[in-house]
Amino acid sequence: MRAPRPSGDFQSHWIQPVVFKNLRHRDGVIRPHHITAPHVIFVLLAPILQGIRVLDLSSIVAGPTASMILSDFGADVIKVERAGGEDGRSMGPHRGEWGAYFVALNRGKRSITLDLSKPEGRAVVLRLAENSDVFLENFRGGKAAALGLDEPAIRARRPNIIYASLSAYGPSGPDYTKPGYDAVLQARTGIMSVTGTGAGHPMRTGVSILDMTTGTWIALGILAALLERQRSGQGQRVDASLFQTGIAFMAYHLVYRQFAGVDPQPQGARHKAFAPYGSLPTGDGQIMLGISGDRQFERLCKALGHDEWATDPRFRRNPDRVANVDELENLIGAVLRTQPTSHWVALLDECDIANDPIQSPWQVLQDPQAAALHLFNTVNISGQEPFLLPRLPIDLSLTPPAFQGPPPATGQHGRVILREAGYSDPDIDALVESGAVGKST
């Protein structure tokens, strides 16, 4: 298996990077070795998925999220794109040829362009599958079989492969073949019915929550399947869908409907179970408060200089506050408007009250807590200014995930990938001439 490429195109932002040192002791055994130095951890162990190859035919968000996770853990991800590149490349805004969606989710991968409408292009996929550990696709229901790239076809080439399939509605059922996207499935699963202000305008969430979470779920399933293969030698199928993820997100609201006998309504930034819990205006912006218990409310009243609210029959207990939330928020808002957000954040932090300003993306990029957690890396892309990209939101002490390289140009590694699969240069030239394989950049 091809080892992951070094991440020389990346540099950490704000701190020195985690440094991996491969030191072999005299007895030949590699052991963890730590050297004390500010902000530097010397780790001996190789990336946890080093030696694992992922053949990734997915596009846009959900599938690329999954393969990005696997790449950061050290897997060699071969990204198969159509001629001209996958749809995510065209989703702006852009810097030069680089689309924001694509660069956000495709770091550390290698790209080859194939025309899957041609038998020769499909034959290349089957050949690449022979030396792959994971096959990842997000075809619409039935398309993989129509192309001859469904699980039986792939497993015939590599019996113990992990076949991972992402879809909108799942691998079976009456809507198996329906097209679907994140916002459409937010509507179908009820998420939009509980999102927004309740003024007759259902809203989707502002981020691709179903796409990215479904990608995370299938990455988790792939890791579990790889562990099982290590134990039993057997590969298996892994399925995940936006529909299943949306239903899982709705667990509380579905139970609410059964317990209360009525459908929960959208609350804006509020919560039906707690009050005050939501966004409120300050002198120069908005602040989000989270009060989930009576003692917290008492501390809030004291901090705002209105101890009497805590004994007011309208607000004494949490159910009372929920029932009278409009009156309560009007009283709190009148106080909060007298000072800027920074004043209230400092004061409420001192009083141990959950709160935070509502920040813009620009403010998030400069957040000191993000800096303390080393959440951003600086990424260099060809011909453009560097930009900041969040790392995976997970830390491991011995085998931390790390960027394995920059996002690839369209078809950048095609010729190298084909040579690794045993194709000769004349064979590759013939595939390019036929249009089955795109030219490497």
Among 419, 432, 334, residue whose Cα is nearest residue 118: 432
For residue 295, give both structure tokens. Answer: 């003692």
Quote the distance between the C-alpha of residue 34 and its chain's center.
30
Q: Which two tokens stand for residue 416?
A: 């190298």
Which of 2, 5, 1 lies closest to 402, judged by CA?
5
CA count, 13 A, side-chain hemisphere, 26? 0
Which amino acid would we find at residue 257? R
- Establish whether 211 is a catalytic residue: yes
Catalytic entry in 211, 307, 349, 367 = 211
Answer for the pair 110, 413: CB distance below 8 angstroms, yes or no.
yes
Give long-range contacts, CB 8 A cutoff, 24+ apart: 277-280.
278/329, 279/358, 280/329, 280/332, 280/333, 280/336
What are 389's strand-pairing partners?
Answer: 377
Do the Cβ atoms of 351 and 303 come closer than 8 Å?
A: yes
Q: In Å, how far from its chain's centre is CA 250?
A: 19
Q: What share of the chain is helix, strand, coil (3-state, %, to 5)?
A: 40, 15, 45
Three-state DSSP at 374 gives coil
Q: What gap in Å lies between CA 2 and CA 76, rounded to an integer?
A: 7
Cβ 106 vs Cβ 407: under 8 Å: yes
Report the 10 Å Cβ neighbour count for 372. Answer: 10
Helix 119-129 crosses helix 425-434 at what angle (to 10 degrees)?
140
- Rounded Cα gap, residues 245 and 172, in angstroms: 15
Look up residue 349 and give its amino acid.
D
The answer to whether 411 touches 113, Cβ cutoff 8 Å, is: yes
Residue 86 tokens, joined: 């996958």
Which residues on adjacent β-strands are paired with residue 81? Answer: 113
Cite the active site residues: 211
